[in-house]
Amino acid sequence: MARSNSNTARQDRFNRDDNEHGVIGIDHFAMPADDIELMARFIEEVLGGEPYYVTGFDPEDEAKGKPRQVFMRVGNVLMQCAEPITGGVTVGKGDTNPWPHWAFLMSAEGLQRNLARLDEMGIPYFGPAEHVGGDSFSAYFASPEGHKLELVTYDDYPAEKVIGIFGPKGAGTPQWADLFYEWTPSS
C-alpha cells in the first residue's frame, strides 16, 4: 500500500463515519497509574474529567482480584486509570520518548484558556507550536507520573501566541525531561 495523505482538510476526519469495518472512534484508552487517586484528581482538576465508572475498590471486587480502576469522562472519551497488574508503571518521568501520548481536541479559545490554567497551576508545557502545514496547533505537558498529554486545535490560532513550527528548524520539540514536575491536588 502506498502511503500518502488521503485528505488533509481541517477537521474532515471528525465528520467521517465510513470506516469499512464499522469503527466509529475511540471509546476509551487505558493508562497505568501507580497512584490511582492522584491520577483521578489530576484528570479532574486539569482536564475537567469526571468520574464515570469505578471497579476494584470494594471488598467483593478485591476478593475477585479485580485491579483498582477509575474511568474518567473527558469530553466524549473515557480515560481508564488502572493499577498495573505487573506491579509498576512502564511509562514515567525517566522516559523521554514522545510515545505514547494522548491528545485532547479543543477550540483555539479552549487551548488558550487551558494553557492559562496550566500556568496558574504551575504545570510546565511546550507550545503552542504549529504543526507542519499549519493545519493544527498543539501544546504538550505531562501528568504527575510522566504520562504525556497534548492539547490540540485545528482552529486558526493567534500568531503572536505561537512559539514556532514543530521540528529542528522551528520551535523544536518537547523536551520531556523539562516538563516533569511534582503536582499536588488542590484541597
Residues 105 and 174 occupy one common structural domain: yes
11/153 Cα distance (integer angstroms): 9
72 within a domain of the structure (yes/no): yes
At residue 70, the pLDDT reads 93
184 within a domain of the structure (yes/no): no
Instruction: State the average pLDDT for the chain.
Output: 85
Residues 106 and 70 occupy one common structural domain: no
122/95 Cα distance (integer angstroms): 21
What is the number of domains present in the chain?
Answer: 2
At residue 121, the pLDDT reads 93
At residue 11, the pLDDT reads 63
At residue 176, the pLDDT reads 87
Assess contact for 101 and 56: CB atoms under 8 A: no
Residues 111 and 59 occupy one common structural domain: no
CATH of the domain at 37: 3.10.180.10
At residue 91, the pLDDT reads 78
Residues 38 and 67 occupy one common structural domain: yes
Residues 77 and 105 occupy one common structural domain: no
Q: Report which DSSP code applies to 14.
A: G
Residues 122 and 175 occupy one common structural domain: yes
pLDDT 10s digits, 104-163: 999 999 999 999 999 999 999 999 999 876 788 999 999 999 999 999 998 999 999 999
Of 82, 110, 145, the one marking the end of a domain is: 82
90 within a domain of the structure (yes/no): no
Share of the chain above pLDDT 90, in %: 40
Residue type (1 letter), 25: G
Share of the chain above pLDDT 70, in %: 89
Residues 60 and 107 occupy one common structural domain: no
Beta strand residue intervals within the chain, DSSP E: 28-32, 50-55, 69-74, 77-82, 101-105, 126-130, 137-142, 148-153
Residues 56 and 109 occupy one common structural domain: no
**177 pLDDT above the threshold of 80:** yes
- The set of cell numbers assigned to 170 is 522551528
153 within a domain of the structure (yes/no): yes
At residue 1, the pLDDT reads 56
Residue predicted with more confidence, 23 or 83: 83
**74 pLDDT above the threshold of 90:** yes
At residue 168, the pLDDT reads 63
Residue predicted with more confidence, 24 or 117: 117
Residues 114 and 165 occupy one common structural domain: yes
Q: Which domain holds residue 58?
A: 28-82
Confidence of residue 86 (pLDDT cuts 50, 70, 90): confident
At residue 64, the pLDDT reads 79
23 within a domain of the structure (yes/no): no
At residue 89, the pLDDT reads 72
Residues 112 and 143 occupy one common structural domain: yes
Residues 120 and 156 occupy one common structural domain: yes
106 within a domain of the structure (yes/no): yes
Of 52, 82, 112, the one marking the end of a domain is: 82
57 within a domain of the structure (yes/no): yes
